[in-house]
Amino acid sequence: AQSVAQPEDQVNVAEGNPLTVKCTYSVSGNPYLFWYVQYPNRGLQFLLKYITGDNLVKGSYGFEAEFNKSQTSFHLKKPSALVSDSALYFCAVRDTNDMRFGAGTRLTVKP
Amino acid sequence: EAGVAQSPRYKIIEKRQSVAFWCNPISGHATLYWYQQILGQGPKLLIQFQNNGVVDDSQLPKDRFSAERLKGVDSTLKIQPAKLEDSAVYLCASSLNPGLGQETQYFGPGTRLLVL
């Protein structure tokens, strides 16, 4: 069965600095990988996904993620963080019918 | 386009009572999912429907949880009887059709359940 790990519970960055939220995965076949963001009292919002093709995936709100097959990673990145990016971020992997989410990483961007 | 609708948004019940949640997916989305998100954890898939058929319910506690999507559109998730550990946010999501590579799931706002 597939699994996904987000090794950091919390990431703190200063506004304007680059940010990285880490994700590693384990799956038997070809992975379908996703990033979602959750704001307080809101449902999960889709940011981006990797299905196939270019390893660098661009998504909503200036976020991007790089698929690295050898390291089984799919880290979320943004060149310049905004205070409004502060939220809970979830990485997810899909294999056949099952979608597995990581435990989430809370990103705090300070002015 | 309207998003995934869920109701109620909040529910407080006592243990051993019953509760039901409703979800209306995005129009045209064949696949519907119910997730349970316990505080501090990522969402856990409970059940997946493709139209009105169940695709995966391997993580659904079937002794107390049930779900249906009779007409292949909206869906209800029921807990009977509820336990304290059922306190969580129940998320509904929908997608066009995973089998065609349209994998993105769109989530509703969730129903926050507190069992006392």
pLDDT for A94 equals: 85
User: A90 contacts in B (CB within 8 Å)?
Assistant: 42-43
- Please choose, from the candidates A28, A70, A74, A77, the residue with its C-alpha nearest in 3D space to the C-alpha of residue A51: A74
pLDDT for B100 equals: 62
- Please choose, from the candidates B58, B55, B114, the residue with its C-alpha nearest in 3D space to the C-alpha of residue A1: B58
**Contact assessment for residue B22 and residue B43, using Cβ atoms and an 8 Å cutoff:** no
For A17-51, write each residue's pLDDT tens digit.
999 999 999 988 888 999 999 988 778 999 999 98
Does B33 contact A43 at a Cβ distance shorter than 8 Å?
Answer: no
- Nearest Cβ partner for B103 among A32, A45, A101: A32
User: Does residue A98 carry a pLDDT above 90?
Assistant: no
Instruction: Work out the average pLDDT over A51-66.
Output: 92
For B4-36, write each residue's pLDDT tens digit.
999 999 999 999 999 999 999 999 999 999 999
pLDDT for A106 equals: 97
Instruction: Tally the domains of chain A.
Output: 1
Distance between CA atoms of B114 and B92, rounded to whole angstroms? 17
* H/E stretch holding B34: strand B31-37
The pLDDT-based confidence of B115 (bands split at 50, 70, 90) is: very high
Alpha-carbon distance B14 to nearest alpha carbon in chain A (angstroms): 23
Give the homologous superfamily in CATH for domain B16-99: Immunoglobulins (2.60.40.10)
Domain definitions of chain B by residue range: 16-99
pLDDT for A97 equals: 66
Collect all residues with Cβ–Cβ distance below 8 Å to B32 and sequence separation of at least 6.
B23, B25, B48, B49, B69, B75, B92, B93, B94
User: Does residue A64 carry a pLDDT above 70?
Assistant: yes
Mutate to test the interface with B, among A99, A100, A105 (most CBs of B within 10 A): A99
End-to-end CA distance of chain A: 41
For B34-92, write each residue's pLDDT tens digit.
999 999 899 999 999 999 899 889 899 999 999 999 888 999 999 999 999 999 999 99
User: Does residue A63 carry a pLDDT above 80?
Assistant: yes
The parent domain of residue A42 ranges over: 3-110
Distance between CA atoms of A101 and A104, rounded to whole angstroms? 8
Q: What are the residues of chain A with a beta carbon less than 8 Å away from any beta carbon of chain B?
A: 32, 34, 36, 41-46, 49, 51, 90, 92, 94, 97-104
